[in-house]
Amino acid sequence: MRMKSIVAAAAAVLLGALVCAAPLRAEGETIKLGAVLPLTGGIAAFGMESKDGINLAVDEINAKGGVLGKKLEVLFEDDKGDPADTTNAVSKLINTDKVLAILGSVASSCTLAGAPVANSAKIPMITHNSTNDKVTGVGEYVFRTCFIDSFQGATSAYVAAKIIKAKTAALVTDVNSDYSKGLGEAFTAKFKELGGTITGEVSYQQNDVNFSSQLTKLKGTPADVIFIPGYYTEVALILKQAKQLKIGSVFLGADGWDDPKLLELAADAADGTYIVTHYSADQKTPEVEKLVKAYQDKYKRGPAVTDALAYDMVYVVADAMKRAGKADSQALRDALAATKDLKGATGSVTMNKDRNADKNAIVLKVEGGKMKFVESVKP
């Protein structure tokens, strides 16, 4: 009986906390934006980085007096990286919190599920991290401030052919990942167009740990470049095992590689590899330097790629709000579509007619355990 009463008391306390936790908000004095991010679940790291980036940008803007004479306020909602949950979160922000626009989400599958809700409510939804080509195809109200998978894949092919000067290439793709597949297809098409030959393609699955059979197969038909569109956990293992097998090709990857953990996990096996991504912390532009300093001051760490993308997204939205001249979703949509040459840490953003950001990709090379800036390209 005692156990039961303890449990009942604990449940009562939790329920009480539930009721009291609803924060009191001042109405009308702020411009409300909603952010749907994976704050829990398997990709929560990206959600938390996005949250930091958004908070920093909002604080900076508010410190300078906000937008249109009002302070910005961002309401965060968790989607666990689950598409069904994204639709709920987007719907809640629009209907219950009456937000002006939605920021997010991170995973393309989540944004693809949430965007139709925002689009049919005529509320702009802006994502900073969902690179799947189909995302902005959902409708007129869906925008993206990063580049897309097919651009990323094509740029990787350009880097392989022009910077690494490869004639032959092989691919290692994750069959179950939309990201990997999209990049692989775009790479193959562009590399052939640039006169190269694809000598082989092998595949793996997320959470695989042994890649020796695939790599041995690739060793049989040596290629100048091996392109691995995947995420750093598997990529690090692939690079290590390739080094053990003494595969001499240059390895090339995309934004899925861009995480300090890659260098930690792969150690010296990552040396000499190239990465095509959104942003580099040692690119010498005033925007990047300002962001890196602000991050050190506020969070005591350097901004990762998702931090930078989220930070830039807030400025894109704030800029559109200023040009719209009023806090109105329709006016904001039109202003977002007209975004032109807005400079940020991840490059300058111009919205194209498909509501995707036209911007440069950054090429990095790993040397001595560091990702070094090579150049900014747009093939």
Partner 1 sequence: MIEISSYHIQVLAFMGINIILAVSLNLINGFTGQFSLGHAGFMAIGAYTAAILTKACGWPFLLATLAGALLAFAFGLLLGIPILRLKGDYLAIATFGLSEIVRVAIVNFDDVTMKAATLVGLQDLVPKEITRGALGYPAIPEVKSLVWIYGWAFVTCLILRNIVRSSEGRAISSIGEDELAAESLGINTARYKTLSFAIGAFFAGVAGALFAHWVTYIKADLFKIDKSIEILLMVVLGGMGSLSGSVLGAVVLTLLPEYLRVFAQWRMVIYPILLILLMLTRPEGLLGRRELSTILGVLYTRAMGRGGPAPGNPPVAAE
**Phi, psi angle pair for 375, to nearest 5°:** -165, 170
In what helix (H) or strand (E) does residue 162 lie, and over which residues does it extend?
none
Which listed range, 8-16, 229-237, 346-354, 364-372, lies at the site for partner 1 (CB under 8 A)?
Answer: 8-16
Which listed range, 25-33, 94-102, 278-286, 311-319, lies at the site for partner 1 (CB under 8 A)?
Answer: 94-102
Is residue 117 at the binding interface for partner 1, with CB under 8 A as the rule?
yes
| Residue number with CB closer to partner 1 (18 or 63) | 18
Is residue 181 at the binding interface for partner 1, with CB under 8 A as the rule?
yes
Is residue 23 at the binding interface for partner 1, with CB under 8 A as the rule?
yes
Task: Report whether the peptide linkage leading into residue 180 is cis, meaning its omega lies within 30 degrees of zero.
Answer: no
Is residue 134 at the binding interface for partner 1, with CB under 8 A as the rule?
yes
Is residue 44 at the binding interface for partner 1, with CB under 8 A as the rule?
yes
- Size of residue set near partner 1 by CB under 8 A: 49
* Residue 306 C-beta: closest distance to partner 1, Å: 16
Is residue 41 at the binding interface for partner 1, with CB under 8 A as the rule?
yes
Class of residue 205 by CB neighbours under 10 A (exposed 0-12, middle 13-18, buried 19+):
exposed
Q: Name the H helices within the chain.
A: 2-20, 44-63, 83-95, 108-120, 149-158, 178-193, 212-220, 232-244, 260-266, 286-299, 305-324, 329-337
Is residue 116 at the binding interface for partner 1, with CB under 8 A as the rule?
yes
| Residue number with CB closer to partner 1 (114 or 344) | 114
DSSP labels, 6-39: HHHHHHHHHHHHHHHTS----SSSEEEEEEEE--
* Residue 149 C-beta: closest distance to partner 1, Å: 9
Q: Residue 191 contacts by C-beta under 8 Å, 6 or more apart in sequence? A: 157, 160, 161, 169, 198
**Phi, psi angle pair for 132, to nearest 5°:** -55, 130
* Residue 121 C-beta: closest distance to partner 1, Å: 7
Is residue 229 at the binding interface for partner 1, with CB under 8 A as the rule?
no
| Given 54, 113, 320, 336, the residue binding partner 1 (CB under 8 A) | 113
**Phi, psi angle pair for 101, to nearest 5°:** -155, 165
Radius of gyration of the CA atoms of the chain, in A: 22
DSSP labels, 312-325: HHHHHHHHHHHHH-
Is residue 219 at the binding interface for partner 1, with CB under 8 A as the rule?
no
| Helices 286-299 and 305-324, axial angle in degrees (round to 10) | 110
In what helix (H) or strand (E) does residue 353 lie, and over which residues does it extend?
none
| Given 16, 25, 176, 340, the residue binding partner 1 (CB under 8 A) | 176
User: Which residues are 363's β-sheet partners?
Assistant: 276, 375
| Given 30, 45, 48, 358, the residue binding partner 1 (CB under 8 A) | 48
| Given 84, 193, 217, 221, the residue binding partner 1 (CB under 8 A) | 84
DSSP 8-state assignment for residue 139: -
Which listed range, 87-95, 259-267, 283-291, 305-313, lies at the site for partner 1 (CB under 8 A)?
Answer: 87-95
Is residue 377 at the binding interface for partner 1, with CB under 8 A as the rule?
no
| Given 182, 229, 253, 256, the residue binding partner 1 (CB under 8 A) | 182
Binding site for partner 1 (CB under 8 A): 3-4, 7-8, 10-11, 14, 18, 21-23, 39-41, 44, 48, 76-78, 80, 83-85, 87-89, 91-92, 94-96, 109, 112-113, 116-117, 121, 132, 134, 137-138, 174-178, 180-182
